[in-house]
Amino acid sequence: MSFDVALILQSLPQILEGVGLTVQLHLISLAAGTLLAVGLALLRISPNPALSWPALVYIYVFRGTPMLVQVAIVYYGLAQFEMVRNSPLWPTLREPFWCAIIAFTLNVTAYTAEILRGGIQGVDRGLLEAGKSLGLSAWHRFTRITIPIAMRLSIPAYGNEMISLLKGTALASMITMYDVTGVARTIVSRTFAPYEIFISAALVYLALTWVIQQGVKFAERYFNRHLRK
Amino acid sequence: MSVVIPWLGQFAKGAVVVLGVALVALVLTIVWGLLGAAAKLSGNRIAGAIADAYTTVFRGTPELLVLLIIYFGSAVTLTWIGKQLDPSVRFINIPPFWAGAVAISLIVGAYATETFRGAFLGVERGQVEAARALGLSSSQTFFYVRLPQMWRLALPTFGNHMISIVKDTALLSVIGLEEIMYVAERGMTMTNKPFTMYAVVAVFYLAFVSLIIIAVARLEKRLNRHLVRAR
């Protein structure tokens, strides 16, 4: 058995071409999911059960099912409904790219909402009381005290979520897309050299993970700068 | 919904496969996690470096890719070995059930390594010193003092790892294991009701995950019973 280094060098440019798609899927669904998560987290912590219950159910369902199932439901499942097929959105919903984005976004939203909820509820009550006694309005207390501190508290878990989404984007290869994993699978089906190709692809993901980790470290340093001696 | 009824038997069979893989993977996950945590805490540089490499690689690589490397990689290696012994051999692979269980356990084991490491560090040093002072051997100290207390601290996080194990089984249809995802794929092509089929899969997974959540909550209550105040 041989480990064909030449084949790696030869395939690497193709695998790297998949990086663009992987990064696109990651960034778009991360951005959309994070925005939606802010709203969902606010619903989740609402004292009104009519608001918090639907949020709770949403989070439970999306965290309790595999992302592959979610991708399959969006990509294959929606076509079952005539209403969807006749809708003006159908040309978009038929595209694997947008199906992947939709599924990933829905998934990230659930996880991130739960992270943000933890961050918001982790803010020391005393700080909010201090704000109140200084005469800050509820809006000011929320935007000037709760949000900055909650963000700082959420960073580590949010960093893990970014990495887990990056790994999740590999599922796009299951719905015919040529992201890093998709390209690697095509090359392997042609060359049957799983070690060389899949390990190269894994190294690409490890590099991307490293970039995210550095970003998280930087953000942590920035948000904790008041703690530095 | 009635379209699902003839498929329920197949789904049930698939669910049994999911539970089987998850159970095997759970046992292996605990093994890798304990080995990894032991290596990281051993103070031995080489063991520590190997464990660090293990957790970095398996936490930074997509689950799907790990599965493909293990399944197709092992097939290439086994076929090569087989050919050396008998040139007429065509193809040997590890059954998808076992390849899948090993792949999932290696992935989740990397997370469990960190969980167990933290939990071992959470056991008070005084406990270990007391055990030694009472004359317990180091293996007795490990099994009677450190392990049970570590387990209590690790359980909440380990519950999440168990959920990951179960959810990762959805990937195994890729290597041809006939689990619920696989049944849904076949059901979809035969009935043309993809949404219904995958919704059934989602319900199965929600049920599994809910059972784990309930079981972990009960176990936590039991392990923390000494912390409940007398009334």
Of the pLDDT bands very low, low, confident and very high (cuts 50, 70, 90), residue B101 is very high
Taking only Cα atoms into account, the Rg of chain A, rounded to an integer number of angstroms, comes to: 21
Taking only residues 196 to 225 of chain A, the set having a beta carbon closer than 8 angstroms to any beta carbon of chain B reads 198-199, 201-202, 205-206, 209-210
Distance from CA of B55 to the nearest CA of A (A): 12
Taking only residues 151 to 170 of chain B, the set having a beta carbon closer than 8 angstroms to any beta carbon of chain A reads 163, 167-170
| For range A54-73, the mean pLDDT | 97
Distance from CA of A135 to the nearest CA of B (A): 40
| For range A53-77, the mean pLDDT | 96
Cβ distance A69 to B196 less than 8 Å, yes or no, reads no
Cβ distance A206 to B61 less than 8 Å, yes or no, reads yes
- Please name the amino acid found at residue A144: R
Of the pLDDT bands very low, low, confident and very high (cuts 50, 70, 90), residue B147 is very high
- Please tell me the distance from the alpha carbon of residue A89 to that of residue B126, in angstroms, as a whole number: 64
pLDDT of amino acid B98:
96
**Is B77 an interface residue toward A (CB < 8 Å)?**
yes
Interface contacts A/B by beta carbons within 8 Å? 120
**Is B215 an interface residue toward A (CB < 8 Å)?**
no
User: B186 pLDDT exceeds 70?
Assistant: yes
| For range A168-192, the mean pLDDT | 94
User: A212 pLDDT exceeds 90?
Assistant: yes
pLDDT of amino acid A1:
63
Structure tokens given for B137: 């051997």
Residues from chain A contacting residue B195 (CB–CB below 8 Å): 73, 76-78, 80-81
Superfamily of domain A5-227: MetI-like (1.10.3720.10)
**Is A23 an interface residue toward B (CB < 8 Å)?**
no
* Helix B63-85, helix A194-223: angle, nearest 10: 150
Taking only residues 68 to 107 of chain A, the set having a beta carbon closer than 8 angstroms to any beta carbon of chain B reads 68-70, 72-73, 76-81
pLDDT of amino acid B231:
61
pLDDT of amino acid B213:
96
Among candidate residues B183, B207, B210, the one with its CA nearest the CA of residue B197:
B183
Distance from CA of B77 to the nearest CA of A (A): 7
User: A228 pLDDT exceeds 90?
Assistant: no
Residues from chain A contacting residue B206 (CB–CB below 8 Å): 60-61, 64-65
**Is A31 an interface residue toward B (CB < 8 Å)?**
no
Percent above pLDDT 90 for chain B: 80
User: B230 pLDDT exceeds 80?
Assistant: no
Using CB atoms, pick whichever of A68, A173, A205 lies closest to residue B61: A205
Distance from CA of B164 to the nearest CA of A (A): 9
| For range B192-216, the mean pLDDT | 95
Residues from chain A contacting residue B194 (CB–CB below 8 Å): 72-73, 76-77, 79-80
Q: Cβ of A216: how many Cβ atoms within 10 Å?
A: 17
Using CB atoms, pick whichever of A65, A167, A198 lies closest to residue B68: A198
| For range B89-114, the mean pLDDT | 94
Average pLDDT, chain B: 93
- Please tell me the distance from the alpha carbon of residue B178 to that of residue A192, in angstroms, as a whole number: 23
Cβ distance A184 to B65 less than 8 Å, yes or no, reads yes
Residues from chain B contacting residue A176 (CB–CB below 8 Å): none
Of the pLDDT bands very low, low, confident and very high (cuts 50, 70, 90), residue B131 is very high
Residues from chain A contacting residue B205 (CB–CB below 8 Å): 64-66, 69
Per-domain residue ranges for chain A? 5-227
Per-domain residue ranges for chain B? 2-62+96-224
Residues from chain A contacting residue B199 (CB–CB below 8 Å): 73, 77
Residues from chain B contacting residue A78 (CB–CB below 8 Å): 195
ipTM beyond cut 0.90: yes
* Helix A96-121, helix A5-44: angle, nearest 10: 50
Instruction: Give the model confidence (pLDDT) of B42-89 as tens digits.
Output: 889 999 999 999 999 999 999 999 999 999 999 999 999 998 888 888
Q: Cβ of B42: how many Cβ atoms within 10 Å?
A: 12
Cβ distance A80 to B62 less than 8 Å, yes or no, reads no
Instruction: Give the model confidence (pLDDT) of A84-114 as tens digits.
Output: 888 888 888 889 999 999 999 999 999 999 9
pLDDT of amino acid A21:
96
| Level-2 CATH architecture, domain B2-62+96-224 | Orthogonal Bundle (1.10)
